[in-house]
């Protein structure tokens, strides 16, 4: 089982490089090339082993959704010359993730279960249970940490601390609601429910753009629409497609990203299960299966696609 753990290219005209949790980014002045590797993170920690095919699954789902939403919200993408590569504008990112939720699941449910009735300054009604649909979508932003954990924060604190201006936040908020509405419609066409997701934004020449990925299994949670109501009435777990099952597996094995904790060993079996889940979500969202590739030549293909795209652009 081969996977792309990292890339280490050197390009003519390259002006910088950044390695994120799951992406390697090459800068070329006002443009950038983002390589979606097969690294996987959870609880803000990069796990020891990479997941075969994860990078191209994420990149292609993101490309599909970025194209589908570009007429409503401007985004950073200029081209996707390779299944693992996106070329786009280099934006100055806002250090805030706009997390938007239509259902009470994941982190929000864990906070609610612990007794909290206000998350990121947003009040929640009494009497909800796990995976219930919320009265309306809510935005629960987090800080975007370069090191360590992202932290919940309220809209009011973001503006008061000058992280972004009131006007900038209002624009990101409006864009987030628009994107979530489109994402919900696209998911419904594939018999899925978009439960929650996150959006990131940045500035380029004083304009705000949607950046990074959109509606992928790394940034979003999906439920299967068929049987959702029955499972809720029966207090059964929802059948879902997201990275949440990875988090649950880690929790069951004693890891939540807390200080002093070490990620559990990942067997070939769990690696294959995770890889298959990502491919299943691709099939659900795109409507076709993802093809096989020759991993022995993939790094050369990725390098050539970036070099050629930068020259042509």
Question: How is the chain split into domains, by residue range?
Answer: 93-246
Phi, psi (5° rounding) for residue 116? Answer: -75, 135
pTM equals 0.88
Q: What string of H, E and C letters represents the secondary structure of 246-263?
A: HHHHHHHCCCCCCCCCCC
Beta bridge partners of 197: 100, 220
CA–CA–CA angle 215, 84, 301 (5° rounding): 170
Q: What dotted CATH number matches 93-246?
A: 3.30.470.20
Task: Scan for tokens 């629960």, then name that residue.
Answer: 140
pLDDT in tens, the chain (313 residues): 689 999 999 999 999 999 999 999 999 999 999 999 999 999 889 999 999 999 999 999 999 999 999 999 999 999 999 999 999 999 999 999 999 999 999 899 999 999 999 999 999 999 999 999 999 999 999 997 655 557 899 999 999 999 999 999 999 999 999 999 999 999 999 999 999 999 999 999 999 999 988 998 889 999 999 999 999 999 999 998 878 789 889 999 999 989 899 999 999 999 999 999 889 889 988 889 998 888 888 999 999 999 999 876 5
Give the whole-angstrom CA distance, residue 259 versus residue 110. Answer: 19
CB 32 within 8 A of CB 136: no
């Amino acid at each position: 089982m081969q996977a792309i753990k990292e890339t280490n290219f050197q390009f003519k005209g390259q002006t910088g490089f950044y390695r994120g949790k799951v992406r390697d980014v090459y800068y070329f002045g006002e443009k950038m090339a983002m390589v979606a590797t097969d690294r996987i993170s959870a609880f803000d920690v990069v796990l020891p082993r990479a997941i075969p095919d994860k990078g191209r699954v994420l990149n292609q789902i993101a490309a599909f959704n970025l194209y589908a939403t570009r007429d409503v919200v401007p985004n950073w993408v200029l081209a996707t010359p390779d299944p693992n590569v996106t070329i786009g504008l280099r934006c100055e990112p806002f250090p805030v993730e706009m997390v938007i939720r239509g259902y009470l699941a994941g982190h929000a449910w864990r906070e609610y279960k612990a007794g909290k009735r206000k998350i990121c300054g947003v009040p929640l009604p009494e009497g909800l249970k796990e995976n219930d649909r919320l009265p309306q979508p809510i935005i629960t932003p987090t800080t975007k940490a370069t090191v360590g954990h992202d932290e919940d924060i309220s809209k009011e604190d973001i503006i008061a601390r000058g992280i972004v201006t009131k006007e900038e936040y209002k624009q990101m908020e409006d864009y987030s609601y628009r994107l979530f509405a489109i994402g919900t419609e696209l998911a419904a066409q594939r018999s899925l429910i978009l439960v929650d997701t996150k959006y990131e934004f940045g500035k380029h020449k004083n304009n705000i753009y949607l950046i990074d990925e959109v509606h992928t299994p790394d940034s979003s949670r999906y439920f299967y629409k068929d049987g959702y109501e029955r499972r809720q009435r029966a207090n059964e777990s929802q059948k879902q497609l997201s990275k949440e099952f990875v988090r649950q597996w880690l929790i069951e094995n004693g890891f939540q990203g807390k200080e002093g904790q070490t990620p559990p060993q990942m067997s070939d079996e769990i690696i294959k299960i995770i890889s298959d889940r990502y491919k299943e979500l691709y099939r659900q969202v795109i409507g076709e299966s993802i093809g096989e590739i020759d991993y022995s030549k993939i790094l050369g293909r990725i390098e050539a696609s970036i070099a050629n795209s930068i020259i042509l652009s």
